[in-house]
Structure 1
Amino acid sequence: MEIPFREARPENGAGLVPADNSAPHKEELSFKIKEQKIVVDELSNLKKHRKVYRQQQNSNIFFLADRTEMLSESKNILDELKKEYQEIENSEKNKTKK
């Protein structure tokens, strides 16, 4: 059985959010981080011979992808999401200090 892989990527301009809209964005980022952690975990635990598919953006078409490349990409995406989440938390802390 082959396992399809639906890629979780942050949307373009995800870091450009007005200050008054940071709470919903922070919740959305938290959800995406949890989702991406699951993707990384699933890819990490796949057997070497398993096939991984990447979904074509805005389509229901899947293409065969390299498991190690997908794992690397997924880890990078997770790092970016965590970094963005931390920046929001830091900016909120700075606002409360002022």
Structure 2
Amino acid sequence: MRLFVPAVAALTLSAASFAAIATVTEADMFGKPAQASAAQRTISIDPKTRWITVERGEVVKFVANGQEFAWSFDGMSSSFDLDRIAPSGTLDRHLKVYVWPNAEDLSDK
């Protein structure tokens, strides 16, 4: 019985931490679609584009192959392939997006 209570407590905490992990969505990680009119800047993707760097919290409009889409990078500071968020057929190759922390992320709060 002495070991039963600590074991139950440990299992309860483990289950709670798994539940917290399960609630992370792609939007939490990468951001979400945005209106083109909300864009703070436009990035034109051409054959010379090798990667893209944005700041967390930034709204960017992308123009590629005669198509466009906008994205709000309000997820985590990280890197990922742009084709994970681009509409199908917009890109003709893989491009890495690097999401840098913004000034607020770097402040001592």
TM exceeding 0.5: no
> Whose RCO is larger (CA < 8 A, sep 6+)?
1
Give 1 or 2: higher strand fraction: 2
Give 1 or 2: higher helix fraction: 1
TM-score (norm 2): 0.27
Q: Which one has a bigger Cα radius of gyration?
A: 2
